[in-house]
Amino acid sequence: MFGRRSDRTTDHDLNAHDVFYGPVGSGKTSLARTYMEEDDLERDGVETWVIDPFLAMAECRHKVDRYVREFGEIDETLAFLLAETYSRAELIAGLGIKGFAVGDQRHDLPLISVTIADADAVLRDLRRGRAVEQVMRMSRRAGIKFRLVVLDLSLLSFGSSEVIRSSAVNGNVLACEKASA
């Protein structure tokens, strides 16, 4: 497995979205889990959610703030996240704050970091894709970060949404390749 993360430093932008992509068996989910543990679970001011329809990250379910795997739960979680995003964006704008910063005492909100394992399968559903797209449009202002695990960087992997793909790939992108036998 080879990984390459753009602009990775020890003090990278926690708000930037992460995309992990590569073929089946390339280790992208394991790498996403490692980054989630290092970036989210070890820091104050970060609330960690995992959407995991095929149990790729099941061992994390007791470590994170919210873990969902059933598609009905995923739908409810994304609807809640969308409502929360609007609420947070309104609060932050009402306070006259230009953008979200972890630990800002003026709003005292945690960064919500949402890891979606098998994001291509989740986003393929039109309703789920639209919810994630709407959240992504306000994510930087509202303190929402996505970590998406996909097979490739094609538009289909992002629910055919140019907004999701553009937002995601303009963050931190990590390619995983299968090791040669």
Any residues with CB less than 8 A from the CB of 99 and at least 6 apart, and which?
92, 140, 141
For the ranges 18-22, 37-41, 74-78, which has the lowest average pLDDT?
37-41
Any residues with CB less than 8 A from the CB of 142 and at least 6 apart, and which?
84, 85, 86, 88, 89, 92, 100, 135
89-119 per-position pLDDT tens digit: 999 999 999 889 999 999 999 999 999 999 9
Q: Are 158 and 128 in contact (CB under 8 A)?
A: no
pTM of the model: 0.90
Please state, rounded to an integer, the average pLDDT across all residues of the chain. Answer: 90
**Full set of structural domains in the chain with CATH:** 15-174 (3.40.50.300)
The residue type found at 109 is: L
Is the model's pLDDT at 8 over the cut of 50? no
